[in-house]
Structure 1
Amino acid sequence: MYASISFAVVMLFIMIGEWVSSLTNAYVPSVFITAVLFAIGFWTFLPKDTVAKASFGPDFANICISLLLVHLGTLMNLKELIQQWKAVCISLLGVAGTLLLTLTIGTKIFDWHTVIAAVPPLTGGLVSALLMTNGLKAAGITTLVALPIAMFVMHSVVGYPLTAWMLKREGRRVAGEYHKGNIQAPVSVEEIKEEKGKKGGFKLPEEYHTAAFILVKVALVALLANWFSSFLKTTFNFDLNANVVCLIFGVIAHQLGFLEDSALNKANVFQWLMYGLLAYVFSQLSITTPQIIGKVFVQIIVLMLLGLLGMFLASIILAKPFGMSPEMAFACSLTSLFGFPADYILTTEICHNVAKDKEEEAVLVDQILPKMLVGGFATVSVASVIIASIFLKLL
């Protein structure tokens, strides 16, 4: 009974987030509402293990991430992925802007250890927050142990609506360019299928293309990607993040015809996996309390404002040289505040609400989603871990 109740509560919070987003035309993003509901729930009546009891624990999340990233690779092509180097540069330079202002102005307002403890989770996700928390414990700086996790909670809540606003502006701009004829619609599904037919692929009878068959193929690609990442690290001491490899291998498998378009949607499990992963991410809100956040609230707000200002200035200055609008550049940089899966959910949600029809929505997703995904991987999956590792040595 407890497991069923836990599952119902998790789905209820996600449902309310989606309904509010629809009612407000995505001005209030679903992930923001869902995050607030989980935070209030954990701080009041909700048991800390609710998400785990609903079957969305760490093992489920690890499987979800690999499968979903391979799936996202089936939504783009190799040329498109390579073209996103500009998004990578903008995102990383946005993080550099955050580091610049927090380490200069921030250290004049607060002591060195406070800034060092807060900045890594400000430029990344949960992993960097946990790394800094453990580092502070090891260094005996117990007064700041709560700061990294509190920063992680607060910057995510601020980041969702701010990113949604930027994406809405960018979505309208892209839609306008499309109707002027300056942007081409993405390749149709029929053309993609025709190209795959030329390449070969699986020519099994239709009755064998079951959901299980698709999942086996996606799982094999994910397994190969994780093995390859591990192989590079152990053999050549080259640490290429497994999440990035999953996306690249998904693109390659799709281009070769091994995986079909939108693989997990065809297997009818995409939304289930996405909901489970989202629930697991929000379960981390149970780590902190209002009392903990209250003790470091001033430090969080000031450093967050400095970090966002540095990110904004870097994005605005570099947008034109990298051929992006200021809104798109800033949105790419903002992915460092939350990463995957929130970047995917926010982007697709905004595209759906801004677009007037399915064709226009496909154009918006094609133009915006790859930039957001790649930007998120560059910051949260790669840069934030490196920054946290360096900052641990500065404590």
Structure 2
Amino acid sequence: MVFNVVGAFSIVLLILTIGEIVSTKTKAFIPSVFVSAVLFLVGFWTVLPADIVTQSSFATPVVYLSMYLLLTHMGTLMSVRELLGQWKTILIALSGIVGICAMTLTIGRAMFGWQTVVAATPPLTGGVVASILMSGAATEMGLASIAVLATCMYIMQGFFGYPITAILLKKEARRLADQVKNGEMDVKHMKNSVGADLAEKEDASKSRFRIFPPVPEKYQSSYVILVKLGLVAWLAATVAPYIHLNQFVVCLLFGVIGREIGFLEEKALVKANAFGFLMTVLMAFIFAGLSQATPEMLGKIVGPLFGIIVLGVTGMGIMSMLIGKLLGETKEMAFSIAMTALYGFPADYILTIEAAKSVTDSDSEYEYAIETMLPKMLVGGFTTVTIASVIIAGIFVKLL
């Protein structure tokens, strides 16, 4: 079946929209990616053509353009000053990643084979970019079932991450609320908003390494912001072969540098009003890989899929709680920080807010719980999903 481009586009967006609505209605208990994946699978097995995503204009060139720009943009989200102030959080988050890799590359390899764990581990440590890199590499090697496994890993990991994190954060929020109730913590002089506190830290860090003057507001148009992102991404892709790093990893690093020196704006794609569309392109491309997933193939990968998730989460929990204890963090908070690898932003934000609301009885208890937990969860998610998973995927692509 062949649709015109706007018809195919509308069908793809309708499926993504249904997933988003279900996720919102269930407060992310049922992840949007799972709902969308099921709808795409049923569609591919019944009425949808296998190339519906390509027909909708979300083909390879625009997908790679989206990845270049999005990863460079992700670099602009990071304040070096703030990350350095959260060094304990970063170490805990990275220890969780180490725990995942340790379990999957040892026990997982013995149970499921080298190529299977190499393709599945990066998506488990992060998000959509790692999944695309690994599924694309597996497809190029003719490993169709492993490519589908990498995609399904990204889709299914949230079902483990959401409920476990919710339980852990509620327990941590209850402990913090009790500190306020018992008078162990004076909250009179606390700030009323985490956002305001973080904004002050951000302002303090903006000029530290700046060599480019700020662009006047009237000139910060979508064109100006996008051309600067494009130039930085182009430079990153050009430099990458010479320093023997994956080009997407270099885009991320150059985005950080570009923001620190003042050439790129913070949250560049958001200011250019382009972030939502480019993310839509990536999500559509992810689900396009499910066109290869026959019922027989899914039956073959279900064992490795859940086995690797269980092994990875176990390794993550052991390592993060061990390192967290050494750094003076509670086991609940440490495990929660590491678990951000399974979903990232905005789920880390939503889960933290929901947990604090559900167990606190006053504004002061809520504010203290949020100001204590939220910065750690956000930095943890940025460390795992945005940075570590992309770097790991760039390395594992060569090991496949």
In structure 1, give the amino acid aligned to 2:146: P
Counterpart of 1:320 (choices 311, 325, 347) is 325
In structure 2, give the amino acid aligned to 1:54: S
Secondary structure in 2 aligned to 1:90?
helix
1:92 pairs with 2:98 = yes
CA spacing shift, 1:313–1:300, aligned 2, 3 Å: same
Counterparts of 2:352 and 2:328, CA distance in 1: 21
Counterpart of 1:292 (choices 294, 297, 313) is 297
1:4, distance to aligned residue in structure 2 (A): 0.9
CA spacing shift, 1:218–1:379, aligned 2, 3 Å: closer
Counterparts of 1:31 and 1:352, CA distance in 2: 21
Counterparts of 2:313 and 2:228, CA distance in 1: 41
CA spacing shift, 1:332–1:292, aligned 2, 3 Å: farther
Is the CA contact (8 Å cut-off) linking 2:353 and 2:370 kept in structure 1? yes
- Aligned residue for 1:375? 384
- Aligned residue for 2:344? 343
Counterparts of 1:274 and 1:48, CA distance in 2: 21
Is the CA contact (8 Å cut-off) linking 2:9 and 2:56 kept in structure 1? yes
- Aligned residue for 1:10? 12
Secondary structure in 1 aligned to 2:278?
helix
- Aligned residue for 1:281? 286
- Aligned residue for 1:111? none
Deviations 1:274-323 (A, max 9, x none): 11111112211122211222245445544554454444444444442355
- Aligned residue for 2:160? 162
- Aligned residue for 2:30? 28
Is the CA contact (8 Å cut-off) linking 2:92 and 2:324 kept in structure 1? no
1:217 pairs with 2:223 = no
Counterparts of 1:286 and 1:196, CA distance in 2: 45
Is the CA contact (8 Å cut-off) linking 1:94 and 1:311 kept in structure 2? yes
With normalisation by structure 2, the TM-score equals 0.75
CA spacing shift, 1:277–1:303, aligned 2, 3 Å: closer
In structure 2, give the amino acid aligned to 1:120: V
1:246 pairs with 2:248 = no
CA spacing shift, 1:117–1:203, aligned 2, 3 Å: closer
Count residues with an aligned counterpart.
Answer: 365
Counterparts of 1:226 and 1:292, CA distance in 2: 35
1:102 pairs with 2:130 = no
Query: Percent of pairs identical after alignment?
Result: 30
Deviations 1:245-286 (A, max 9, x none): 323322232233222232211111111111111111221112
1:170, distance to aligned residue in structure 2 (A): 5.9
Counterpart of 1:207 (choices 204, 207, 218) is 218
Is the CA contact (8 Å cut-off) linking 1:101 and 1:310 kept in structure 2? no
Counterpart of 1:272 (choices 248, 269, 277) is 277
1:378, distance to aligned residue in structure 2 (A): 5.9
1:54, distance to aligned residue in structure 2 (A): 1.7
Matches within 5 A, 1:116-155: 116-125=114-123, 126=131, 127-129=133-135, 131=137, 147-155=145-153
CA spacing shift, 1:371–1:3, aligned 2, 3 Å: same
CA spacing shift, 1:116–1:318, aligned 2, 3 Å: same
CA spacing shift, 1:269–1:173, aligned 2, 3 Å: farther
1:58, distance to aligned residue in structure 2 (A): 1.9
Is the CA contact (8 Å cut-off) linking 1:102 and 1:303 kept in structure 2? yes
Counterparts of 1:151 and 1:103, CA distance in 2: 15
CA spacing shift, 1:174–1:289, aligned 2, 3 Å: same
Is the CA contact (8 Å cut-off) linking 1:95 and 1:379 kept in structure 2? no
Q: Select between 348-357 and 33-42 the one with higher mean Cα deviation.
A: 348-357
Secondary structure in 2 aligned to 1:373?
helix
Is the CA contact (8 Å cut-off) linking 2:96 and 2:316 kept in structure 1? no
Is the CA contact (8 Å cut-off) linking 1:347 and 1:372 kept in structure 2? yes
Secondary structure in 2 aligned to 1:48?
coil
Counterparts of 1:153 and 1:231, CA distance in 2: 30
In structure 2, give the amino acid aligned to 1:51: V
Deviations 1:1-34 (A, max 9, x none): 5211111112112211221121111222222222
CA spacing shift, 1:260–1:379, aligned 2, 3 Å: closer
CA spacing shift, 1:378–1:5, aligned 2, 3 Å: same
CA spacing shift, 1:252–1:169, aligned 2, 3 Å: farther
Deviations 1:318-347 (A, max 9, x none): 44235555456556666777xxxx634543
With normalisation by structure 1, the TM-score equals 0.75
Is the CA contact (8 Å cut-off) linking 2:95 and 2:323 kept in structure 1? no
Deviations 1:93-123 (A, max 9, x none): 322122232245x2xxxxxxx5234222231
Q: Select between 47-56 and 173-182 the one with higher mean Cα deviation.
A: 173-182
Q: Which runs of 5+ in 2 are unaligned?
A: 124-130, 358-362
Counterparts of 2:211 and 2:394, CA distance in 1: 40
1:212, distance to aligned residue in structure 2 (A): 0.8
CA spacing shift, 1:190–1:217, aligned 2, 3 Å: farther
